[in-house]
Structure 1
């Protein structure tokens, strides 16, 4: 078990290293000079050269990559060209919006999808199953930002019961902050809940046809006990796999949703940095997103080992 854990950790570190190299390479080939964008068209060559030197843009790419990687490993993410403050501080500040939004969206997605998928599988062909299939089809077809716009029109413009955008900050009270995140979290959660509902239903139906389920029923166990004690735990492995993948989509969707709802999160920071050609902010935020996704998938892998002991024996 310990050796398996070390192998997974080594794979995680190698993945992060490969991702960092890819991020740096992509940022290096983007068009436009950050120094020229910062100073404007009226800058003299001497001023432009001095700023490029201060930004480290005149150094070889391999040296810039090494310095950036070592700094990131030590917790020093550099200083933003645009804001003139450490990038680590910007990420921590914006994470106070993005992280609760992502957690809120995941909780809503699971709260909607798991009961609906279980009910649809338990009553296959019934009304709940039909409604779940319609919800799954619509959720897959409709993009999250369009769901967000519909939610704004319905709950903000028409009913006037929810804020259309903005974030008051956690210092102004828990309820106003959570209220500002309800619609964005719903916009993120509904498309993901549709996918998770379909996966849960399929996994449940596969387990329902296993021999040990027939044996449990033959012993006279109540239907509810068979469903929640035997079927649901054995159907969790594919569901957890999709949850790990959904976290990736939630991170990517946060860029659009935070701009739709004008939320000062990491997604909006990345979008603003792209427009301002703030390379160091783009690199650090993208690496942070990628690292978060890799770590979440690593934790999902570990949860597989906890849920299914057969996997521990197979990989030992």
Structure 2
């Protein structure tokens, strides 16, 4: 009898080990990166440096948070960088019409665009990869067209951008806004059926449909949130740079995907969450610091992140669920 109980206990612990590693592993990696950086350059862990880092990391974290939801549901949103870049352009172009409320209008436009994108992807049964890759190209082209391929200063009368550019009690307002986003989405994911439906879709869409999950509605909301987070990331960027550019977020697409998988969210869907997304975004942002500290040239940083993405996807893909990898 005792042997049977011992065997059952061992089996239970073994079954929990991958989940524990997936949840605690990214946090351990983040702590190790910070510790190594502190040894090499002690100044990086000073309070002012950490606050500056969090402010600079806010755009990437916002993109990672938004991009995590479609991946949790078994899809992917490649249009987030295009939405972020176009957001900055629209804040300038639409300011003569909407004045101080322009940025809020742009966020609503992004949410409407994301909802349309998610609806078409789900209703027409088009692969999310193809849909969002196509819209990424269209958004990038539209940003170039509206801006005449030139950078423009951000209007000073925009209420939300001005707020993000300032501090509250020495804490950058971008950090406060990011905390609010995580809290709101965390509440939706934790206490509403919406969160369970996302995981159900990622675990198995056929089973989710049989469990009365409204696939079209859920994917529509997911992509709306993703685009909304991307728009906020664009506002974070222009609040830091104080100018808009049609290619401002062009190099952040790879980093956002890397952040999702580094946080422990399985690229195959169904495993992960918002807090892992935040950790993944922090890891990705801190890796940029590490590459600078160890002397990696800026032109070679994408090589590092590309290799990191390949390794992270290889470690987080659930092959038993996919069956055949194509």
TM-score (norm 1): 0.31
Task: State the structure with more CA Rg.
Answer: 1
Kindly indicate whether structure 1 or structure 2 has the higher relative contact order, using CA contacts under 8 Å at least 6 residues apart: 2
Q: TM-score, normalised by structure 2?
A: 0.31
